[in-house]
Amino acid sequence: MSVGNKRLDAVVDSICARGCRYVNTILANEDARTQCRELSQLTEPHQARVLQELAAVMSVYDQSGNCRI
């Protein structure tokens, strides 16, 4: 069964709802990724897609300086 873009978007939104610090921790720490409930429900390729999207979202915040660890 394929996971649709809407499902992956929902995972990204759910993780982002926890705040910048949490997202940055997920991106920087493998242990945090393995403990993330949303990511653990996805296959590795889908996890990689979500992490790429999270990195893209955070790059906007990094450029504006509004979100730091």
Q: What is the per-residue pLDDT across 13-63, written as a single tens digit (0 to 9) for each?
A: 999 999 999 999 999 999 999 999 999 999 999 999 999 999 999 988 766
Q: Is residue 52 part of a domain?
A: yes
Instruction: Give the domain extent around 29.
Output: 5-64
pTM of the model: 0.84
Q: Is residue 69 part of a domain?
A: no
Residue pair 26/15 in contact (Cβ under 8 Å)? The answer is yes
Of 31, 34, 9, 12, which is closest to residue 23 (Cα–Cα)?
12
Q: Is residue 53 part of a domain?
A: yes
* Residue 15, Cβ density class (10 Å: 0-12 exposed, 13-18 middle, ≥19 buried): buried
Domain count, the chain: 1
Q: Is residue 9 part of a domain?
A: yes
